[in-house]
Structure formats: structure tokens, C-alpha cells
Structure 1
């Protein structure tokens, strides 16, 4: 990869072109826009009248934030990177003025913006519909979500390097999806796991982010736990960026 530079104008222009392609796919766009509201509706129906519904609803909303990050950022971006690579779009962009980092960031911009919009809708509508309290530390929650976007955007670029076609993206994104859902405590706490398994789960790519998300919404987390979660998220960002520089493919796989 060439020397990383950032130009907001070029990133915005690239992002605008990606957004145009997204808007043209009306089925994907409609599903993306309606998904948070559908999640809120399902949660409200399933939790109505249940004992401890508020606590369960709060925990489920934080898990829903993780699901949005996985589905909208990770899975969508892997397909986008693979499609642009196989169509030689990335190769053509690389011959212009845009740096490698600008190309990758511009491609990721619409997915990141859509995920942030969905999470905002999910948080506001979900809190109102499920009668749960709003986030106790909004700044921490926003920082956690942004860290999640960075981690998953970089991991998406890495995953695309090992994905031959758009059709196989569903298979290559499955390991991280399952590991995060089962091991990062999206909907079920990991406290019930054996100590060794729980310690290993804390090192998963999105575990630190989800710890910060829960702390941002519910509050009450200890400083040591927050520091550990932040360091885990930062470590995965650094590891993913190194992996992108080392293995990202700009030309079609043959």
C-alpha cells in the first residue's frame, strides 16, 4: 500500500459514489432502513409483560447495536470490497490521486453512516417503545460505536482478501459473526462460561467494543474494566490495519 494520507474531499466523493450504488439497490436500502424498527417491534412483542422486561430490553438493545455493526458494517463491506475489486474499480481508483487509505475509507463511508443512523433509531425508538432508560453515558456509547465501526471496517477489508466472489462473502463473514454473537456477550452474558473460556472470549474482536457499549448505556462499570476493553478494541484496530497493509488485494483473484 502507498503512503497513507487523508483528503476529506476525495473520501466524500468516493463515499457519494458508493452511496449512489446503495440507493439504487432499493431492496437492500429498504431492509436496512426498516431493520431497527422491526427489531424494536419484535422486542416489544416478546418482552411485553415479562418479569424484568426493562432490564432484558436494555440488554437486548445493546446487543442489537452489536448486530447492526455486524450486519451493516462487516457483512455489507466485505461484499462491497470484493465487488469493487472484481469489477476492477479499486485498481482504477488506485491509478488516480486518491491514496489507498482514502479508497478504503470512501468505500466504507456509506456503510458506516448507515450503521450510525440505524443505531440512533434503534436507541431512541427502542428506549421509548420498551420503556427503558436512555444511555447513561452517551459520549462513551458513541465512542464505543465508532471504535466498532473502525474495527469491523478494517476486518472487512482483511476478510475480503480471502473472499473470491460476492456470493461466497456469506461464508467468509460467518466465523466472525458466530464468534461475536456467541462469545462477545451480545445477548447472553459470558459470566456463565468457565473462567478460561470467558477470558478467551474477552479477547474477541468485538468483545471490548461491546463492553464499552454496555457501560455507555447502563453505566456502573469499573475503570479497570473500561480500560481493558478500550485496550482490546485499540489492539484489534492496530492488528487489523497491519493485516490490511499486508494482505489486502487490489486486483481480482484468479
Structure 2
């Protein structure tokens, strides 16, 4: 095993132990997304999805992807990074042999690993309940979830710049928790919005994720559109990762 893999495995085990000790973490990362997803059905029932050419199952699954990434990854990972920074753990780790990326990935490993597991369980449940059937283009859904996880993890690292303490982290994530789902079709399908608004929202950070995931079940996205969504996601990942690397603080803010 390489030195990087050894460091990553050690950090991941330590973080998983700390994560499992907190009941609040378990509820926030595992139960809250599940409850919100099925609450979304009540909201979606208020819209004429069939009139917009949409089916309930794929819409719920794409909503689940956005909710899991925000509630199960963005909020808890931002708090984890801030807490480890305030506890001087990041500073001590950085003075050792582990590289910066390894330290950040090790801290994120438990919640990052939970994302695909949560999505598989919830999407399987929705598929059975809604009778959606198997995904028509599963590679699109996988692409959306994987790249979405990378994007949100980078965004969590960047958001720590706004938080002095772990308590502040709960406030620092609120703009993203509010704006990202509203502009991505997580809460309200973009197809029911005015055409001009749709075209703008298509190029915002989380929208390509929900589009790719939904198309993974419907198979309705063309190769050109899939490439555009993927490139849009990659551009946001590059921009967010660059900003996080430039501004991330390794020591407590004074």
C-alpha cells in the first residue's frame, strides 16, 4: 500500500469513528435526506408534471440526488472541516507527511462514501414505489452523482472561509442550502418555469447533476446535451476547487 493510501485509510478510520459517535451526524446525514425526499412527493403532487412531459419517479430521484448532496454531504462536511480546524487537527496533520489533499479527503471520506449508498437505497425505494423501472442510461446517473459529490465537497471546503466556529458553519451553509436546490430543479422541476429562467438555471452548479440523474432513468438526454452538462459540471468543479485551495484556512480564524 502506498504512503498516501496508508494516510488516507488512517484518517478515514479516525473520521468514521468520530462521525459514528455523534447521533446528530447520523440523523442529519442519513435520516433527514430520506424524510425530505418523501416529503417532496407531497409538493410535486401540486404540479402538473405530465403536462410538462415529466414522470413522478424520475423527478423524485433527481430531487433525491440534490437533497442527499446538500443535506448528507454539504452541511455535515462543512461543519467537519470547521471543527477539525478549530481543534487544530488540520494544522497538526499538515505538519506531518500527509499532503493537503489527502488530509481533506480523509476528513471527508465517511460522508463522501455515504452519498452513493444513500442514493442507491433511496432511488431503489422510489423505483419500486413509483414503478419507474430500471435506469435507461445508468452511466448518466453515475456521472451526475460522482461529479456532484466532488463539486459539493469542494464547495464545503470553500464555505469554511465564512465560518469562524462550528456553530457559524450552520449559518454559513444556509445560502447554498437555499439557492442551490431552488435553481437546480431539486425542489421545483425547471420545466414548469419560464423558458428564459430555465436556460439561465441550466448553467448553475447543481442543475447538471439533477439533469444527468433524471436522464439516467429516462434516457431522454442526447449525447450533445450530456456533454454540455458534464462540461458545465467540470467547469464549476475546477472553479470551486481553485477557490477552495486559494482561500481555505488551516488554522483557527482570529
Asked if these proteins are the same fold (TM beyond 0.5), I'd say yes
The 1:183–1:251 alpha-carbon spacing in structure 2 relative to 1, beyond 3 Å, is same
Residue 22 of structure 1 is matched in structure 2 by 19
Residue 130 of structure 1 is matched in structure 2 by 130
Residue 184 of structure 1 is matched in structure 2 by 184
The 1:29–1:99 alpha-carbon spacing in structure 2 relative to 1, beyond 3 Å, is same
Q: Deviations over 1:12-66 (max 9, x none)?
A: 2111111101110124324533346545665678889x99799213311210111
Residue 7 of structure 2 is matched in structure 1 by 10
Residue 164 of structure 2 is matched in structure 1 by 164
Equivalences for residues 202-217 of structure 1 within 5 A: 202-217=202-217
C-alpha contact 2:37 2:67 (8 A) present in aligned 1: no
Residue 55 of structure 1 is matched in structure 2 by 55
C-alpha contact 1:6 1:102 (8 A) present in aligned 2: no
The 1:76–1:55 alpha-carbon spacing in structure 2 relative to 1, beyond 3 Å, is same
Residue 251 of structure 2 is matched in structure 1 by 251
Return the alpha-carbon distance in structure 1 between the equivalents of residues 65 and 148 of structure 2.
Answer: 10
Q: What is the CA distance between 1:199 and its match in structure 2?
A: 2.8
Residue 241 of structure 2 is matched in structure 1 by 241
Return the alpha-carbon distance in structure 2 between the equivalents of residues 192 and 160 of structure 1.
Answer: 34
Q: What is the CA distance between 1:193 and its match in structure 2?
A: 3.7
The 1:188–1:6 alpha-carbon spacing in structure 2 relative to 1, beyond 3 Å, is farther
Residue 34 of structure 1 is matched in structure 2 by 31
SS in 2 for 1:167: helix
Residue 114 of structure 1 is matched in structure 2 by 114
SS in 2 for 1:13: helix
- The count of corresponding residues between Structure 1 and Structure 2 is 249
Q: Deviations over 1:139-177 (max 9, x none)?
A: 221121010000000111001122111112222112222
Q: What is the CA distance between 1:194 and its match in structure 2?
A: 4.2
- Range moving further from structure 2, 74-83 or 23-32: 23-32
Residue 79 of structure 1 is matched in structure 2 by 79
Structure 2 unaligned regions, length at least 5: none
C-alpha contact 1:57 1:132 (8 A) present in aligned 2: yes
